[in-house]
Amino acid sequence: MGTYILRRALINIPVIWMVATVVFFATSVLPGDYVAQRIAAQNPIPDNPELAQQQLDAVREDLGLDDPVGVRYLQYMGNLLQGDFGTSFETRENAIKGFMDGFPYTLQLGIMTLIVATMTAIPIGILSAIRQDTISDYVLRVFSIIALAAPNFWVATMLLLYVIRGIPLPFTDAEIGWTIDLTSQALIWEDPITSLKLFAIPAIAGGIAAGAGVMRLLRSQMLEVLRADYIRTAWAKGMRERSVVVRHALKNAMIPVLTVLGLQIAGLIGGSVVFEFLFNIPGVGNRILRSITARDVPVVQAFILVIATFVVFVNLAVDVAYSIVDPRIRFS
Amino acid sequence: MGCIEAVKDSKGGNLLMSDLDNYWKRKLAHQGLSRRRVLGGAVLGGVGVGSLALVGCGDDDDDEASDATPDTGGTVAPTPSGSAVKGGTARFSSANNTWDTFDVDRSRFTPFAVVMGYTNESVVHYKSFEKGELEGGLASKWEQPDASTLNITLRDGATWHNKPPVNGRAATSEDIVAFIKRNKEGKTQDGVDDVNFYRKGEYANVASVSAPDAKTVNVKFTKPDPFFLGTLASGYAKIQAPEAVKAFEKDYANLKADLIIGTGAYSLTEFKAEGSLTFTKHDKYPQGQNLDKIQYFPLFTDNAALQAAFEQKQIDAYGPRTKQVLDELLAKYAGKITNYPAFAANPMAGTYYGGTPPWNNANLIGAIFRTIDRRQLIQQMFQGLAALAGNIPPTQAAFGITEKELITYPGYLEDRAKELAEAKQMWSAGGGPALGDITVDIPDIWEGAYSGVGALITNSMLKANLGNNFNVKLEPYSTITGKLIQQKYGNGANNIWYGWISDVTKLEPSIDLYNSYNSASPQFQQFGVKIQKVDDTTSKLLTELDLEKRKTMTKEVEIELIKAYGAGIPYNMITIGNTLVHNYYHPTENQPFVTAHQFASRAYIDPKDPTYQGRPA
C-alpha cells in the first residue's frame, strides 16, 4: 500500500506540471491581456495617442507582459519551483493570497453542501430502493429528477429573490422572508448564526442538486445488492430489515457512491461559482471568475494549479479509501 | 470654509462657472445602466445623488421634443440644511473597480479619484457641480490681480491625517506649491520623466509657483489660462504631503491604506483591492463632517443580491439596472426611497478617420450617421432612459446646444422617413454600394452589456437601409484604441466602431474640443476631419477668459461638428443612471469623481426618519 501511494504521488507530479503548462499557455492566448482589458477600456480615445501608447507599453513592461511567451514560461516555471506563484496584476499581492483568503468560504460552503447532499441522498436512496415501485419510490424519484434537471443558477436566483426578498402573503401586506446579511460574509467561527443564515440557502440548493445524482446512483446500487444471494441468505436467517439494509446491503452499495462523493469533494476546492457569485460569497469560485474576467493571469494560474493539485491527491485518497471500504481490493 | 471672494479677470469677466442649463431635468426618467458599473470603472457603487434633477432653471421649450419617459415618482431632491444629523456609518457596495496606483498625480482611474475625494482636498472644488459653483477646498480664497497671475490663500486649520511620515502636521502653502510643481514637471524624485503624469499638459502653462509665506501661493502663467481653476477642481487634483510622496513614491503601486494621507474629512483606514474600504472621520477637519464612517463592501457579483441587500437596508443606495426593477422598487417602496437620476459618465458614440477615403466622403459617413436610429436604440437598450447627445453631451449642457436645436440637424431628426430616404440618397451619391462589406467593431464588453444591439445596428438599421453588409466584429478596447491611434477606422479600410467613448470629467468641454477637433492637436490625428471654423474657434477658446463668450463659442463649434456628422466622433446618446436611496440617507451630488468631498458637508443619516427602522446596526 505504501509503495502504491508513493508511486501514485510521484506520477502526480508530472500531471501537475502538465496542468501548469497547459494553464500557462491557455491563459497566454486569451484575447486581451490585463492591460487591454482594464486600462485601455478606461480611456478608449486618449488625448495624446503617442503618450497613451507609451503608457500602455510602460504598464506592460512593469507587469512583465512584454517578454516573449517562452521567456515568461521559463520564468513562471522557475518561480513555481521556488514556491512563488507570482503577483496579482490587480491587487499587487501574492497571486495565491486570494486563494488563501477565499478557501475558508469555499470550504464552509462545500462542507455544508456535502452534508446536505449526503443527508438527503442516502436516506432517500435507501428508502427508494427498499420501497421500489411504491408511491414513495415514485415520489422520491420524481423529486430527484426535478432536482437534477433544475439549473442550479435558476434555483439560487429564485431563492434569492423570493425567499430573501420576501414572499408576499395573499390578502395581507405581510411577507415571509429570510433576512440574511449579504454584506458581512462571516465565517462560521466568526459569527455562527449570521454565517449559517447566509450559507444555508446556497448549501441547501446545491446540496439537493448534488444529492439527487448520488441518490439515483445509490438506489440503483442498492437494488442490485438487495438481489444478491448473501442478502437473500440474511433475510432467510430472519435478520431485521434494518440490519440487512444498513449493515450488509448499504456497505456494499456505497462503494461506487464513494467514488462520486470523492469526486464531489475534489470539486469542493474549486468552489461553486454559481452560488458564490449569486450570494456574494467571496470564495475560490467567485474569485477565479473575477480574475478570468479581469485577465489577472497570475491569479488564474495559481488558482488552477492549486485546484489541480488538490484534485489529483484527492483522487489518490479516494482510491486508497476504496481498499479500506472493500477488503477485496488490494493495490500492488 | 472661507467664502468665495469676488473673482474677476482683468476684463471683468467671471471666472466662476455659472448655472447650468438644466433642460434635461424633465428628460430624466429612471433607470439606466452606468457603464462604470459594468466596466468596473469609476463609481464606487450607488454613492451620490442625481445632480441634474435638482436645478430649477431650464429651457421650457424642450418639453415638446422630449422622447424620454416622465418621472414616475419619488424624485424629491434633498437640500443640505441645518437639519443635518451627526453620526452614523453610510454603507455602499463597491463596483468592479480597478486600481492603478495610490499616487493620485499618476493615476488615471476614476475609482481612485473618488477615494481621494474623501481623503484629500483640492485647492478648490465644486460647491455645486450642477450649478458649476466652485468654493475653496484647501484655499480660503483666490484672486487674479491680472490675467497671468493667480494668488491662493490657504484656509486656516488645515491639518494632515495622523499617519507617518506626516503625523498630523498643519498644511502649508508649500504643500500646494509642491503639488503644482510635481504635476508640471512630470518627473519622479530621481529626475526621470514619467509618462504616468497624465495631466502634465494641464499645468504646462504654469510659468512659476511660489509660497511667499505659509498661507499664500503665487502662480504665474505664461499666458492667460481660463481653465486652471477647473484643473485645480478636477478629480485628480488632490494635494498630497511632499514628505509622503518622498517616502512612498516607489511604493504607491502596492495599494495600502497607509499610503493615502490627506487633509480631507475622512481618512482611509481599511483598503482591500476587491472593494472593502472604510473611511473614518478626520477629527481635526475644521469644517466638521456629518458621518462618522463611510464603508464600502466588496463587489456584489450578482445584481439580485445587491438588490436584496438594499431592500434589507444593509446598504444605503442601489442603482437598478433595468427600468422594470426600478419601477417595481419605486412602487413597492413609494414614499420610503428616493431616486436620483444622473447622466452616465461615458457617452455612446463611434469614431472614424475622416482624413482620407472612404470616410472623408461626407455622403458616405453622413449616410451612416443618419441611418442609425438613436431613438430606437434609446428605447431598445435603455427603455427610454437615455438622452440624445451631440458632440457636447448633456453632461455639459451649459456649453452645448439645446435638444430642441439638436433635433433640427440631420442624424437627430424626428422624421425618420425623411432621414432614411435622404441617407439612402447620400449613400448612393457617395458610391456606397460599391464599397462592399463594412466592418463595425464593437467592444466585447459593450456587447456583453447590450447583447444583440450590435446586430441591431448593423442589420436592422445599416444594412436594411443602405444595402451593404455591415458586419459586427467584437474587439477588446485595447484593439480599438490601437486602431484609432493608427487611423485604421477609415483610411482605406471599410471599418468603423461603435461603443462607449471616454468619460466626461470636466464641467466645460473647451479643452476637449480643442484636443479632439483642432488640427494642431495631437489627438486630431485620430479623426482627421479638418474644419477651419472649428480650428479658429477652438484656438480662441483656449485664451478666452469670458465664460459666457466661451459658451457661445462652444455651441458654435458643436453645430459645425454636428453638421460634419460628428467630425470623427459621431455621438449618439448618453445613458441615465438611477440611484435609489432610502429616505433616511441624505446623499451628495451624483458626480462622485468631483463631488466626493461633499460627503463631509452634505451626506448624513437621519435615525429619526421613519425609514430608518429596520436598518441593521
**In this structure, are residues A265 and A280 in contact, taking their beta carbons and an 8 Å threshold?**
no
Mean pLDDT of chain A: 83
**In this structure, are residues B545 and B230 in contact, taking their beta carbons and an 8 Å threshold?**
no
Q: Provide the grid cell at A51.
A: 503618450
Between chains, do B195 and A41 touch, taking CB under 8 Å as contact? no
Buried b (16+ CB within 10 A) or exposed e, B363-381: bbbbbbbbbbbbbebbbeb
The SS3 assignment for B27 reads coil
Separation CA B284–CA B278 (nearest Å): 18
**In this structure, are residues B480 and B441 in contact, taking their beta carbons and an 8 Å threshold?**
yes
The CA-atom distances, in angstroms, between A218 and each of A227, A231, A233, B486 are 14, 16, 22, 63
Between chains, do B308 and A182 touch, taking CB under 8 Å as contact? yes
Between chains, do B255 and A48 touch, taking CB under 8 Å as contact? no
Q: Is A166 left (phi over 0), alpha (psi -120 to 50) or beta?
A: left
Q: Tell me what pLDDT residue B564 has.
A: 96
Q: Provide the grid cell at B562.
A: 454636428
Q: pTM score > 0.90 for this model?
A: no
Q: Tell me what pLDDT residue B420 has.
A: 96
Q: How many CB pairs under 8 A join A and B?
A: 164
Is the pLDDT score of B29 beyond 70? no
Residue B274 CB contacts under 8 Å (≥ 6 apart), including other chains: A91, A282, A287, A290, B94, B298, B299
Interface pTM, i.e. ipTM? 0.73
The SS3 assignment for B133 reads strand
At B62-94, the pLDDT tens digits run 232 222 222 222 233 444 445 888 999 999 988
Scanning B354-474, the segments in alpha helix (DSSP H) are: 362-371, 374-382, 403-406, 416-429, 444-449, 453-455, 464-466
Strand stretches in B482-569, DSSP E: 495-500
Please provide residue B337's backbone torsions phi and psi, each rounded to the nearest 5 degrees.
-130, 160
Task: Compare B41 and A209 and report the one with higher pLDDT.
Answer: A209
**In this structure, are residues B262 and B123 in contact, taking their beta carbons and an 8 Å threshold?**
no
Band of the pLDDT at B34, cuts 50, 70, 90? very low
Q: Tell me what pLDDT residue B66 has.
A: 27
The CA-atom distances, in angstroms, between B497 and each of B274, B376, B442, B446 are 32, 19, 6, 11
What would the mean pLDDT of A295-319 be, rounded to a whole number? 87
Nearest CA in chain A to B527: A45
Q: Provide the grid cell at B361.
A: 466622403
Q: Which of B193, B301, B517 to mutate to test the interface with A (most CBs of A within 10 A)?
A: B301
Separation CA B354–CA B435 (nearest Å): 16
Between chains, do A43 and B526 touch, taking CB under 8 Å as contact? no
Nearest CA in chain B to A89: B100
Separation CA B426–CA B361 (nearest Å): 10
Nearest CA in chain B to A30: B476
Between chains, do A49 and B484 touch, taking CB under 8 Å as contact? yes
β-pairing verdict for B495-500 and B348-351: antiparallel
Please provide residue B490's backbone torsions phi and psi, each rounded to the nearest 5 degrees.
120, -150
Band of the pLDDT at B489, cuts 50, 70, 90? very high
Give yes or no for A319 touching B (CB within 8 A): no
Separation CA B308–CA A295 (nearest Å): 29
Nearest CB to A48; choose among B309, B445, B522: B522
Give yes or no for B196 touching A (CB within 8 A): yes
Give yes or no for A46 touching B (CB within 8 A): yes
Q: Tell me what pLDDT residue A43 has.
A: 65
Task: Compare A19 and B70 and report the one with higher pLDDT.
Answer: A19
Q: Provide the grid cell at B412.
A: 437627430
B46 residue type, one letter: G
**In this structure, are residues A102 and A287 in contact, taking their beta carbons and an 8 Å threshold?**
yes
In chain A, what is the straight-line distance between the N-terminal and C-terminal CA atoms, in Å?
7
Q: Which of A30, A37, A42 to mutate to test the interface with B (most CBs of B within 10 A)?
A: A42
Q: How far is A203 from chain B (nearest CA, A)?
A: 16
Please provide residue B359's backbone torsions phi and psi, each rounded to the nearest 5 degrees.
-85, 10
What would the mean pLDDT of B445-459 be, rounded to a whole number? 86
CB within 8 Å of chain B, chain A residues 120-149: none
Q: Is B88 left (phi over 0), alpha (psi -120 to 50) or beta?
A: left
CB within 8 Å of chain A, chain B residues 3-42: 39-41
Q: Tell me what pLDDT residue B47 has.
A: 25
Give yes or no for B143 touching A (CB within 8 A): no
Is the pLDDT score of B174 beyond 50? yes
Three-class secondary structure assignment of B335-353 = CCEEEEEEECCCCEEEECE
Give yes or no for A29 touching B (CB within 8 A): no
Give yes or no for A3 touching B (CB within 8 A): no
At B338-349, the pLDDT tens digits run 999 888 878 999
Q: Residue ranges of the domains in chain A?
A: 99-278
Give yes or no for B444 touching A (CB within 8 A): yes
Packed helices A251-268 and A192-226: angle between N→C axes, nearest 10 degrees: 140
Is the pLDDT score of B329 beyond 80? yes
Separation CA B587–CA B218 (nearest Å): 35
Q: Tell me what pLDDT residue B567 has.
A: 95
User: Scanning the structure block, which residue is given the C-alpha cell 486563494?
Assistant: A99
Structurally, at CATH architecture level, domain A99-278 sits in Orthogonal Bundle (1.10)
Is the pLDDT score of A162 beyond 80? no
Residue B206: which of B236, B234, B249, B176 has the closest Cα? B176
The CA-atom distances, in angstroms, between B199 and each of A329, B180, B204 are 72, 11, 9
Scanning chain A, the segments in alpha helix (DSSP H) are: 2-28, 34, 41-42, 49-63, 69-81, 97-130, 135-149, 152-158, 192-226, 229-236, 241-242, 251-268, 273-278, 284-294, 297-325
At A79-94, the pLDDT tens digits run 988 988 888 888 888 8
Q: Is B66 exposed, middle or buried (0-12, 13-18, 19+ CB in 10 A)?
A: middle
Give yes or no for B98 touching A (CB within 8 A): yes
Nearest CA in chain B to A273: B301
User: Scanning the structure block, which residue is given the C-alpha cell 448473501?
Assistant: A230
Nearest CB to A36; choose among B93, B108, B476: B476
Length of chain B: 617
Task: Compare A152 and B56 and report the one with higher pLDDT.
Answer: A152
Between chains, do A32 and B39 touch, taking CB under 8 Å as contact? no
Residue B312, CB half-sphere, CA atoms under 13 Å: how many? 23
The CA-atom distances, in angstroms, between B62 and each of B22, B25, B373, B415 are 11, 10, 20, 17
Q: Fill in the DSSP letter of residue B3.
A: P
**In this structure, are residues A148 and B280 in contact, taking their beta carbons and an 8 Å threshold?**
no
In chain B, what is the straight-line distance between the N-terminal and C-terminal CA atoms, in Å?
33
**In this structure, are residues B261 and B573 in contact, taking their beta carbons and an 8 Å threshold?**
no
Give yes or no for B313 touching A (CB within 8 A): no
**In this structure, are residues A55 and A38 in contact, taking their beta carbons and an 8 Å threshold?**
no
Contacts of B500 in chain A (CB under 8 A): 44
At B232-291, the pLDDT tens digits run 988 889 999 999 999 999 888 888 999 999 999 999 999 987 788 999 999 999 888 999
CB within 8 Å of chain A, chain B residues 514-533: 515-516, 522-523, 525-526
The CA-atom distances, in angstroms, between B589 and each of B78, B92, B109, B577 are 10, 15, 20, 13
H/E stretch holding B481 reads: helix B477-485
